[in-house]
């Protein structure tokens, strides 16, 4: 670990630029792996805003899914190689389902349905179809795309029954390297994002259409990060909940460039998990 990177754990906060969508009133649309449709896309502009990002390690116990939208937890994993698809599915999926259940507030079923590996190493991206970090403030699911995910992964009758009850989508994020030294993840206190700040962004594939929220800037946003996250720590955060009385329903998040990152800092390698949570 680089010496400069070690200092981040002692800082109360950092100031860094975050990329926010500029709402131009035109629906944002992106075509995924569909080059012949690319000319129909509307890719919105983004603007950098300087944000103060608080060190969440100062009082990690304060963060819960109902109160902030996220929690920071110690969580040992038995996975040896996160680039082994079979091991991730056979070992890490059930580990994650148990972790999310413990922080869900009483769910009776958790179903991990997807995962994403991310790295800054271009060779690994190309060889293993691993994605790079996302540098824009966003939330992965919307009022439209969340119920579609239930229909995508459950039989029709079961899905329609589940949609009549409370359900949520909860994600986890962790380093798969020994430590996160660059491109850390920042999370926004969900209570500080007004409803009008969520801008839908369609992602059109050949056989389905997804949708995420990108977030417009508001100086009231309160940001947190957990410097130097290790392989045995995880973030659990809510990206959709049908129950408005259950506290925060969405958690905006983004990778960011920590200004204290040392030139020799190791690249970030991480894994995100996404789960349907039924009550």
We report the CATH number of the domain holding residue 150 as: 2.60.120
Q: Which residues contact 211 (CB under 8 A, 6 or more apart)?
A: 141, 142, 144, 145, 200, 201, 202, 203
Contact between residue 212 and residue 203 where contact means Cβ atoms under 8 Å apart? yes
Q: Does the pLDDT value for residue 129 go beyond 80?
A: no
The pairing of strands 109-119 and 233-241 is unpaired
Number of domains the chain is built from: 1
Q: Does the pLDDT value for residue 8 go beyond 70?
A: no
Please give the structure tokens belonging to residue 260.
Answer: 């204290």
The pairing of strands 13-21 and 185-188 is unpaired
DSSP E strands in the chain: the ranges are 13-21, 28-31, 46-55, 70-74, 109-119, 138-139, 167-175, 185-188, 198-204, 209-215, 223-225, 233-241, 253-255, 269-278
**How far, in Å, CA of 209 to CA of 240, rounded?**
17
Domain that holds residue 127: 3-278
Which candidate, 117, 114, 253, places its Cα nearest to that of 174? Answer: 117
Q: What is the pTM of this model?
A: 0.92
**Which of these ranges, 49-53, 119-123, 141-145, 193-197, has the smallest mean pLDDT?**
119-123
**How far, in Å, CA of 173 to CA of 254, rounded?**
12
What's the pLDDT band for 195 if we cut at 50, 70, 90? Answer: confident
Q: Does the pLDDT value for residue 127 go beyond 50?
A: no
Say what the pLDDT of residue 193 is. 94
Say what the pLDDT of residue 179 is. 95
């Amino acid at each position: 670990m680089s010496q400069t990177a070690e200092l981040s754990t002692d800082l109360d906060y950092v100031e860094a630029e975050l990329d926010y969508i500029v709402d131009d009133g035109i629906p944002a649309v992106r075509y995924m792996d569909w080059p012949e449709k690319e000319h129909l896309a509307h890719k919105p502009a983004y603007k950098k805003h300087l944000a103060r990002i608080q060190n969440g390690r100062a009082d990690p116990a304060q963060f819960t899914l109902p109160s902030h939208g996220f929690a920071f937890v110690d969580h040992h994993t038995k996975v040896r190689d996160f680039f082994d698809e079979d091991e991730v599915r056979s070992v890490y999926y059930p580990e994650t389902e148990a972790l999310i259940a413990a922080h869900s507030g009483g769910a009776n079923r958790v179903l991990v349905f997807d995962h994403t590996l991310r790295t800054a190493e271009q060779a690994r991206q190309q060889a293993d179809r691993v994605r790079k970090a996302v540098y824009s403030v966003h939330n992965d699911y919307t009022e439209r795309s969340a119920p579609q995910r239930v229909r995508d992964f459950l039989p029709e009758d079961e899905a329609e029954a589940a949609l009549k009850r409370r359900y949520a989508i909860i994600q986890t994020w962790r380093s798969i390297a020994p430590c996160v030294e660059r491109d850390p993840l920042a999370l926004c206190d969900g209570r500080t994002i007004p409803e009008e700040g969520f801008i839908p962004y369609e992602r059109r594939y050949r056989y389905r259409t997804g949708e995420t929220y990108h977030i417009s800037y508001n100086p009231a946003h309160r940001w947190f990060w957990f410097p130097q996250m290790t392989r045995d720590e995880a973030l659990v955060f809510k990206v959709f909940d049908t129950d408005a009385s259950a506290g925060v329903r969405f958690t905006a998040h983004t990778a960011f460039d920590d200004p204290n990152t040392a030139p020799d800092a190791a690249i970030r390698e991480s894994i995100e998990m996404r789960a349907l949570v039924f009550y």
